[in-house]
């Protein structure tokens, strides 16, 4: 039996023990249904081989070779990851478009006695729901943008707001990137499709009757592009702006980017990527500061000469757009320190402001 997906929320309601993606590892790595495990019935090389035979030789021969490979790989899965599954185990299986790969694997599982179901239309049907949610539908919640210059501890505040029951959308967490040239994180970023899958799932879990706090970003977080509907909502959103002295922001950045501070070779390399925007003398100074461990002066100088001016230009572009009839509230939160105690107090204050705009998150 094939299940037709009608919403992203439906996936969590189906109640299957496992969701199995039988596509190749490369297909799975690019994107997959959240929570799925990969039990490929054709690996990347086998899929390419069968596809080549199908196009250049004979569809019949390709199906015969493919069937043998699927059977062998299915046997390996049965003797490996599935060896201890009980008789009442219920899996949901899908491939690219609900065709031969998932059908063949599901047939083998059903012959054993497991109650297996297929996703009608496979991954393509799921992907169409993601596209619909992100590109065709308006963003569902009122948005409050958590704004402020670089180093204003916006991400730390976002996490503290979440801990206080405030509804948040962590774009940097979903994109696995801190949002600036210096923001790369270990393990790299997800593909655009995988980012959109995670984003769509996060948005689907939001309560549309409550405001959601989102950290101010550009239209891209690293290499991950924000969908137009989300970006439009962010541009028009009310803003909470954190204002803090350069010295406090520099101290915070040294802590927040501890991984980069610990790798001066990587740090100086990233600084070198700013050569098109700054003089050779400025780049040399920053690289010397990095090499000698003058991290707070480096952070302060980068903000003063590079990030704060960029932020001001971005703000001006936003304001020009808002003059075209969009309402745009602004609340400013000024602090002298960005240590833990100060951030906790600031998060308490912001949480009260957010709660006043919608249903109490503690109810």
* List 95, 141, 224, 349, catalytic entry: 95
Distance CA 89, CA 175 (A): 34
What is the H or E stretch that residue 66 is in? Answer: helix 59-79
Other Cβ atoms less than 10 A from the Cβ of 114: the count is: 18
Other Cβ atoms less than 10 A from the Cβ of 341: the count is: 8
CA distances 253 to 43, 48, 183, 249, 312, Å, are 43, 46, 11, 6, 19
In SS3 terms, 166-220 reads as: CCEECHHHHHCECCCCCCECCCCCCCHHHHHHHHHHHHHCCCCCCCEEEECCCCE
Q: Is 138 exposed, middle or buried (0-12, 13-18, 19+ CB in 10 A)?
A: exposed
- The answer to whether residues 246 and 200 touch, using CB atoms and an 8 Å cutoff, is no
Q: 350: which 2 tokens?
A: 């912001």
Q: Is 95 a catalytic residue?
A: yes
Q: Which active-site residues does the annotation give?
A: 95
């Amino acid at each position: 039996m094939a299940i037709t997906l009608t919403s992203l929320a439906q996936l969590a309601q189906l109640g299957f023990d496992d969701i199995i993606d039988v596509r190749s590892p490369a297909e799975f790595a690019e994107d997959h249904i959240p929570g799925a495990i990969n039990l490929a019935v054709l690996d990347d090389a086998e899929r390419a081989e069968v596809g080549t035979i199908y196009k250049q030789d004979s569809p019949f021969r390709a199906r015969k070779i493919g069937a043998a490979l699927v059977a062998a790989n299915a046997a390996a899965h049965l003797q490996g990851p599935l060896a201890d599954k009980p008789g009442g185990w219920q899996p949901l299986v899908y491939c690219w478009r609900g065709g031969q790969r998932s059908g063949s694997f599901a047939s083998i599982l059903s012959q054993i006695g497991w109650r297996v179901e297929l996703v009608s239309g496979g991954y393509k049907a799921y992907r169409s729901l993601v596209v619909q949610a992100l590109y065709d539908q308006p963003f569902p919640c009122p948005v409050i943008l958590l704004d402020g210059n670089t180093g204003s501890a916006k991400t730390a505040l976002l996490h503290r707001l979440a801990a206080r029951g405030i509804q948040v959308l962590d774009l940097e967490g979903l994109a696995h990137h801190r949002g600036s040239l210096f923001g790369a994180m270990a393990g790299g970023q997800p593909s655009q499709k995988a980012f959109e899958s995670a984003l769509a799932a996060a948005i689907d879990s939001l309560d549309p009757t409550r405001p959601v706090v989102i950290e101010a970003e550009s239209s891209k977080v690293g290499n991950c592009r924000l969908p137009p509907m989300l970006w439009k909502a962010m541009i028009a959103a009310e803003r909470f702006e954190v204002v803090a002295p350069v010295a406090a922001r520099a101290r915070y950045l040294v802590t927040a980017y501890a991984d980069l501070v610990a790798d001066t070779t990587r740090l100086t390399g990233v600084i070198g990527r700013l050569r098109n925007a700054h003089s050779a003398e400025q780049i040399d100074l920053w690289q010397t500061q990095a090499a000698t461990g003058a991290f707070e002066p480096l952070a302060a100088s980068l903000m003063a000469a590079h990030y704060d001016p960029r932020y001001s230009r971005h703000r001006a572009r936003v304001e020009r757009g808002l003059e075209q009839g969009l309402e745009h509230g602004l609340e400013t939160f000024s602090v002298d320190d960005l240590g833990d105690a100060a951030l906790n107090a600031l998060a308490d204050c912001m949480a009260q402001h957010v709660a006043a705009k919608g249903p109490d998150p503690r109810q």
